[in-house]
Amino acid sequence: MYELNCAGVIPGCSRVIRADSQAEVIRRAVVQAKQLGIEEITPSMMDSFRTKTTEFRAGANDTSH
């Protein structure tokens, strides 16, 4: 599982985007940016999406078992 805290990457965004792959996180981040009015996704923004996307183990913090 991968996640991106888009605060600081996408102006005005406070979401944490999660998906099974880094590519899907980035795709969702692009959609989110466009929904927030960003018309052009710059190469530096794409670089930020890639470098700030982190991998984590789903359920690692789950204490419900």
Name the burial class of residue 37, with classes exposed (0-12), middle (13-18) and buried (19+) by CB atoms within 10 angstroms of its CB. exposed
Give the pLDDT score at 31: 96
Contacts of 23 (CB under 8 A, 6+ apart): none
Each domain of the chain, given as residue ranges in start order, spans 2-55
Residue 46 tokens, joined:
């794409």
Give the pLDDT score at 60: 54
pLDDT digits (tens, 9 = 90+) for 5-60: 999 899 999 999 999 999 999 999 999 999 999 999 999 999 999 999 999 886 65
Q: Please say if the pLDDT value at position 63 is more than 70.
A: no
Give the pLDDT score at 58: 65
Give the pLDDT score at 8: 83
